[in-house]
Structure 1
Amino acid sequence: MERTLIIFKPDCIKRKLEGKVLDIFLSKGFNLKACKMMKLDMDILSRHYDHLKDMPFFPGIVDFMTSDNVMVLVFEAENAISKARELLGPTDSKKADKGTIRGDFGTDMRMNVCHASDSVESAEREIANFFLPEEIF
């Protein structure tokens, strides 16, 4: 069993898609281990996107990710990381097939409904960035 961090981004929340997206994950065998609604700030985003903070597009990411609340979730499943990324489709929603979350609900590279961990190491780091150990069930 593996854990992954998923963030329902501001576009997901603004468009009231969180119930639909959560249902997709649950119906595909993911077990919800933690969930919280948050308003992100520069501190947590700098840690989360540490690998991007020197890129010229980072301020745009911050503007978008602080534009509304987000839902941060920890899911557990067999091969959760690859399974979640397959369910979401490519980062660029314009390139995502219909039947994937981003293909059905995303609009572009940034407004792509969800963030998902890309490796076991990233998942561990990202989960620790958003949740205390006692918040995960």
Structure 2
Amino acid sequence: MSSETSLILFKPDAVQKNLVGTVLARFQEQGFVIRGIKMMQLSDEILAEHYSHIAHFPFFPSVRGFMQEAPVIALALEGENVIARVRDLLGPTDSTVAPAGTIRGDFGFKDGDSKMRNVCHASDSVEAAEAELKRFFKEGELFNY
């Protein structure tokens, strides 16, 4: 096992439904350590960069609109194999098929209208985490203790 740091974004639905503390507690119960946390309103520029893999698709404006409905909370979380373990805790991206006991299964949008309303984004690899952490946290905003 190796210690890693992952980016988690509490999406607007998590903020609007007041789920941030509940979900954060699930992460902390696993022994993960907070290295950085902040609330922010996402700009068009940061969203175009973060979602560059889908920015050319016709549905991207609806993704951007959702991600700008409310502020998000960016979280840098450290722990042993945190990237895979957080993704397991979250469950499948599509909340409608996420099993009970996973974060998306318990709190995600269930009527199938939007797969984006799935509580959190989490880095999917070490390389993605490195890029995403630099995108959402400036130098000096991540802490070791």
Residues 1-137 of structure 1: matches in 2 within 5 Å? 1-107=3-109, 108=112, 109-137=115-143
Count of aligned residue pairs for this structure pair: 137
Letter of the aligned partner of 1:119 in structure 2? Answer: S
Consecutive unaligned residues of structure 1, counting only runs of 5 or more, are none
Higher share in helix: 1
Q: TM-score, normalised by structure 1?
A: 0.98
- Tell me which amino acid in the other structure corresponds to 2:130: E
Give the distance between the partners of 1:126 and 1:58, measured in 2 at CA: 19
Which of these two proteins has the greater Rg computed from alpha carbons?
2
Structure 1 runs of 4+ aligned residues shifted over 2 Å read none
Task: Quote the offset at 1:52 in angstroms.
Answer: 1.1
* Structure 2: runs of 5+ lacking an equivalent: none
Please give the TM-score of this superposition, normalised by the length of structure 2.
0.92
Deviation readout 1:44-74 (Å, 9 max, x if unpaired)? 1111111111112111110000000110000
User: Aligned partners of 2:98, 2:139: CA distance in 1, in Å?
Assistant: 34
Distance 2:52 2:131 in 1: 11
Q: State the Cα RMSD in Å.
A: 0.7
Equivalent pairs: percent with the same residue? 50
Q: Deviation digits for residues 11-49 of structure 1, max 9, x if unmatched?
A: 000000011011010011111000000011101111111
**Distance in 1 separating the partners of 2:51 and 2:75:** 17
